[in-house]
Amino acid sequence: MIRENRFPPLEHLDLSAVSDNSEHLERITPNRLIDFIAEARPDLIIAIQDMGNQGGKYMLKLHLHLLDLMKHPEKAMGKSTDYAPKKEMVQATCDQCGKSWPVPKDSPSIDKCPFCGQ
């Protein structure tokens, strides 16, 4: 994966829960990412470190890729499957927070935003 600059498949992860905290996500440095991976998979970090500069550059690219997916979770979710909704969907937008989400076209009126609760 490192030699080919491929990232692990993340389509199964729903990152929308963290996308609202983008200013805090920037605090996750490449070094902290390495620490997280080392704690979970020490063998993986050893393999990456054994790649030398190429492994270091890969970790920097992986860090940027993960930040981008956390800030824009629709990118990861859009790659996942060939899912087609059974009903025709439209975008609902909250007047309070401005966030949008898909809802069935024939759904009853929406009384609460799933993001801000207003």
Confidence at 35, pLDDT banded by 50, 70, 90: very high
Q: Do the domain assignments include residue 26?
A: yes
Residue-number span of the structural domain to which 36 is assigned: 19-78
Q: Do the domain assignments include residue 42?
A: yes
What is the C-alpha radius of gyration for the chain, rounded to an integer number of angstroms?
19
Q: Do the domain assignments include residue 29?
A: yes
Q: Do the domain assignments include residue 74?
A: yes
Return d(Cα 39, Cα 77) in angstroms, integer.
27
Q: Which of 13-27, 50-64, 68-82 has the lowest mean pLDDT?
A: 68-82
Token pair of 15, please?
């990152």
User: How many domains are there within the chain?
Assistant: 1
Q: Do the domain assignments include residue 67?
A: yes
Residue predicted with more confidence, 99 or 89? 99
Q: Do the domain assignments include residue 7?
A: no
The pLDDT, as a whole number, for residue 78 is 53
CA distances from 74 to 3, 20, 63, 104 (A): 27, 13, 18, 18
pTM over 0.75: no
Residue predicted with more confidence, 28 or 32? 32
Q: Do the domain assignments include residue 107?
A: no
The pLDDT, as a whole number, for residue 46 is 92
Q: Do the domain assignments include residue 87?
A: no
